[in-house]
Chain A
Amino acid sequence: MALSWQEFQGFVGYVFSCAGYAVHDVSDQRFPNGTGVDLDLYADNIGGKLLARVEVRQFSPPNNIGADDARRFWGTLDIAGGIPGYLVTTSDFGAPARAVAAAAAVRGRLRLLNGQQLLRYIAYIRGSRVKEAGMRSPSTSAPTPPDCLFQADAVARRQTTETVVLTVGNNRGGVAKTTTALNLALALNERGWRVLLVDMDPQSSLTRGLPSPEEVPPSDSSLVDFFMRSVPLSQLVRSTRFKHLSLLPSHPDLKMLDTGGGARPDAELAFIAALHDPAVVSPSGEKFDWIILDTPPAQSFYTRTALAAAHFVLIPSAFDVWALLGINGVLETTRAMQGLMGTGVEPVGCLLTRYRASAVKENDWKQFVHDLAGRGLAPLKTKIRHDDRIENRNRQATGGRLAGILRFGQAPGTGLIDYQEALKELMQHVHHN
């Protein structure tokens, strides 16, 4: 159903309102507010601090906004005292309009938001702020401007042909996220790939399970140093007792820095840029073929950031109602981060862990498959069968007694064999895309 131009303008106002702005419709006012300005965006309340002005132009593709429209809005902004402005359209901008915006960008005022970017902005806002216009949470007290999209587009990211960045995430705890991240990393390692594990979980399970080699003096440096003191990630990567397997360690203090699930695009983008910096290599100077990020349970800043930083997300889940419900959260955040990053994280699928076939009802399984299908997903064919040996190894590993016990060559149990199969599927997906 097509919207009228008034409805579309109202809708854009609603989007900015959800993004935290106090929105004032000024489309019926005359000069100096009038011509070309439809909405005024305030920080707190209408009439307070004016943050930006918006002009909304509903064009049908392939009709693009031309230079005249851009120039006229720029002029209006100039007259109004150099307030930044967003020219928003359902369509796109022609090269002349972009040239005008580039000229205006010298003073950082005119920003162009085309139909695709508007959809990205909506997706990001939907998954990043309280879902009620004008509502603010403590972590998102300030409005979230669309500028984060432009900043995200400017972040240089690794190509999947060089380094695959995979996030392992599910908002539910106890679904074997850490076990999955570790075992996939070890399986990759067995095949000769160079892997960096990033422990973004304040519980620091991976960090405990992967101690430094004996000859390396222990270090307390962790991601806390990056988030608190802006220490480059390249200085925080440490080796493990596995050759070609490095670790960006976590620390329990990370939870003190967690700002929750709300939008913090600047901090999110800072981590993404840091992780994708080619300078992040192993202590012996090797480039990584794979980077695997382990995430905490529940929606958190670290989950969001890990999803935004990744090319792919793998969702481990036990086949129980609560764990499967946790998938909804991670998918919602994934959509938000796809919005932020444009070409962003792609879900590989759902990996069922701790699987006991006898406990799965056929009707439930079918319903699950159909539920996933509606989200464009499928469960991986491989299921990680319940394996007591993995549980025992986890217990030993998190006790700091050397994760070398997880080595595959030593008569692996069903769970470890399943992880090797899961890796094959994962590799097919990654190389196919």
Chain B
Amino acid sequence: MSTTTSSRPATQSQRIASVAEQIGATLGLDNHKLLGAILAEAAAEEARRNATFAEHIRAMYQAETKPTRQARTTRQSKLPKPPKPELRPLKRVESHEINIAAALDPYYLYEVYGADQLPLALDEFTVTKLKEAVQAVQKRHPDTKPTNSRNKPAVIDYVVRYVVNGR
């Protein structure tokens, strides 16, 4: 029977309990919770009197709080995204019916926003919704399809290419 070691890092309370357990075994004390609190108070007292001990504590603390590569990545991802450029309609299409139940019509979006803004307008929709736009294109261009129908940029590229350029 093999023993496996958990790769998950111990939580702070687990670490406190572990240290208290070790000291308790050495000193023969079994109330580990109380022992943990007493150890913390004793360490605090020692740090006040002993500068070397205090510096050792500080070094250990800084070593553990140093940001890891993964943490930096996480922090970067939480930065606010730059605002998307605002879509500006270029013309009115008075004959177009307001109907959210209708299929997404890329030719209408092209008419309203023009070629430059069409990718941005399409990008507002999910890939599932964009499939409606793909179907609209395929009605006019049978036997064509996006290079990857599950990849949003690929779908948008396909729709824009055929709606704007006809190919």
Cβ-defined contact, A374 with B129, below 8 A: no
Asked if B116 is at the interface of the complex by the 8 Å CB criterion, the answer is no
User: In this assembly, does B8 line the interface, its C-beta being within 8 Å of a C-beta of chain A?
Assistant: no
Contact call A371/B89, Cβ cutoff below 8 A: no
* A380 interfacial by beta-carbon distance below 8 Å: no
Q: Which residues of chain B are near A285, meaning CB under 8 Å? A: none
B94, A371: Cβ atoms closer than 8 Å: no
Q: With a 10 A CB-CB cut-off, give which of A325, A331, A363 has the most chain B CB atoms.
A: A363
Stretch at the interface among B31-39, B69-77, B98-106: B98-106
A368 to B101, CA, bound (A): 10
Are B100 and A364 in contact, with the CB atoms below 8 A?
Answer: yes
**A324 part of interface (Cβ distance < 8 Å):** yes
> In the assembly, what is the distance between CA of A373 and CA of B92, in Å?
8
Q: Which of A325, A335, A374 contacts B112 (CB 8 A)?
A: A374
Are the C-beta atoms of A325 and B98 separated by less than 8 Å? Answer: yes
Q: Is B111 a contact partner of A374 (Cβ separation < 8 A)?
A: yes
Question: Which of A364, A368, A374, A376 touches B108 (beta carbons < 8 Å)?
Answer: A374
Please give the distance in Å from B88's CB to the nearest CB on chain A.
9
Q: Which residues 82-102 in B have Cβ within 8 Å of A in the complex?
A: 87, 89, 92-94, 96-102
Binary contact track A321-337/B, C-beta < 8 Å → 1, others 0? 10011011001000100
Q: Which of A324, A325, A370, A376 has the most CB of B within 10 A?
A: A370
- Could you tell me the distance in whole angstroms from the C-beta of B83 to the nearest C-beta in chain A? 16
Decide yes or no: A374 and B99 within 8 Å by CB, A363-B129, A367-B104 being known contacts.
no
* Contact partners of A324 in chain B: CB under 8 A: 98-100
A325–B99 touching, CB < 8 Å: yes
- Nearest chain B CB to A376's CB is how many angstroms away? 5
Partner of A335, one of B93, B94, B121, B128: B94
Asked if A372 is at the interface (CB within 8 A of a chain B CB), the reply is yes
Question: With A and B bound together, what is the CA distance between A9 and B92 in angstroms?
Answer: 27
Which of A321, A363, A374 interacts with B89 by CB under 8 Å? A374
Nearest-neighbour CB distance to chain A for B80, whole angstroms, equals: 19
Q: Closest CB of chain A to B3's CB: distance in Å?
A: 50
Task: Find B94's partner among A327, A364, A375 (CB 8 Å cutoff).
Answer: A375
Interface residue tally for chain A (C-beta within 8 Å): 20
The verdict on B109 contacting chain A, using a C-beta distance below 8 Å, is: yes
Do A371 and B92 touch across chains, with their CB atoms under 8 A apart?
A: no
A368–B98 touching, CB < 8 Å: yes
| A370 and B109 contacting across the interface, CB-CB below 8 Å | yes
- Please report which residues of chain A, range 342-366, place their CB below 8 angstroms from some CB of chain B when the two chains form the complex: 362-364, 366
What chain B residues lie within 8 Å of A331 (beta carbons)? 98
Say yes or no for B124: interface residue by CB 8 A criterion: yes
What 0/1 pattern do residues 190 to 221 of A give for CB contact below 8 A with B? Answer: 00000000000000000000000000000000
- Is B151 part of the binding interface, using a Cβ–Cβ cutoff of 8 Å? no
Cβ of A328 and Cβ of B112 under 8 Å apart? no
B98 and A327 within 8 A (CB): yes
Assess the B99–A371 pair: CB atoms within 8 A.
yes
List of A residues within 8 angstroms of B101 by Cβ: 321
* Nearest CB in chain A: distance from B123 CB, A: 10
- Contact present for B100 and A371 (CB under 8 Å): yes
A370 to chain B, nearest CB (A): 6
Question: B125 near A: Cβ within 8 Å?
Answer: yes
Asked if B126 CB lies within 8 Å of chain A CBs, one says yes
User: Which residues of A have CB within 8 Å of B124?
Assistant: 366
Are A376 and B89 interface neighbours, CB within 8 A?
Answer: yes
* Contact call B89/A373, Cβ cutoff below 8 A: yes
- B114-167, CB < 8 A from A: 121, 124-126, 128-129
Within 8 Å CB of B111, what residues of A?
Answer: 374
- Whole-angstrom CA separation of A331 from B93 in the bound complex: 12
Residue of B nearest to A364 (CB): B100
Q: Is the CB of B100 within 8 A of A328?
A: no
Choice from B94, B100, B112, B128 contacting A367 with Cβ under 8 Å: B100
Q: A373-B89, A374-B89 are in contact. Are A368 and B100 (CB under 8 A)?
A: yes
User: Cβ of B87 and Cβ of A372 under 8 Å apart?
Assistant: no
Chain A positions within 8 Å of B129 at CB level: 363
Task: Return A228 CB to nearest CB of chain B, in Å.
Answer: 36
Would A371 and B98 be within 8 Å (CB), given that A376-B89, A376-B92 are in contact? Answer: yes
Which one, B92, B94, B97, B121, contacts A370 given CB within 8 A?
B121
B126 A374 Cβ-Cβ under 8 A: no
Contact A328 B94 (CB under 8 A): no
Closest to B92 in A: A376
Contacts of B89 in A (CB 8 A): 373-374, 376
CB pair A328 B87 closer than 8 Å: no
B96 x A371 contact (CB < 8 A): yes
- Given the interface pairs A363-B125, A363-B126, A363-B129, the reply to whether A375 lies near B92 with Cβ below 8 Å is yes
A370 touches B99 (CB 8 A): no
Contact residues in B for A376 (Cβ distance below 8 Å)? 89, 92
Name B's A-contacting residues (CB within 8 A).
Answer: 87, 89, 92-94, 96-102, 104, 108-109, 111-113, 121, 124-126, 128-129
Q: A residues bordering B, Cβ < 8 Å? A: 321, 324-325, 327-328, 331, 335, 362-364, 366-368, 370-376
A-B contact pairs, 11 of them (CB 8 A): A324-B98, A324-B99, A331-B98, A367-B100, A367-B104, A371-B97, A371-B98, A372-B98, A374-B96, A375-B98, A376-B92
What 3 A-B pairs are tightest by C-beta distance, nearest first?
Answer: A374-B93, A371-B98, A373-B89
6 A-B pairs besides A367-B102, A371-B98, A376-B89 with CB distance below 8 A are A325-B98, A327-B98, A328-B97, A366-B124, A366-B125, A371-B96
